[in-house]
Amino acid sequence: MKLSARNVLPGKVISVSKGATTAHVRVELAPGLTVFSAITNEAVDELALAVGDTVSAVIKSSDVMIGK
């Protein structure tokens, strides 16, 4: 499946921590460049997300702000 989201950034999972309903996942895109993601615990389970997994961080362009 190809997505309309303009940002599908490949990386490696470097941490997964589940909360009560929301989990936090860190993905390394490049050395020293990490993206932080908050998803549901169910998504972590269904994707069987674990440290070292090759994944993509998917972000809609309208969710990317610019700071200058």
Binding interface with its own copies (CB under 8 A): 1-9, 17-25, 27, 29-30, 33, 35-40, 42-44, 46-47, 49, 53-68
Spatial separation of the C-alpha atoms in residues 11 and 64, rounded to whole Å: 18
In the complex, minimum distance from the CB of residue 16 to its own copies, in angstroms, rounded to a whole number: 10
In the complex, minimum distance from the CB of residue 33 to its own copies, in angstroms, rounded to a whole number: 6
Within a 13 Å sphere around the CA of 9, how many CA atoms are in the beta-carbon half?
Answer: 17
In the complex, minimum distance from the CB of residue 29 to its own copies, in angstroms, rounded to a whole number: 6
CB 61 within 8 A of CB 6: yes
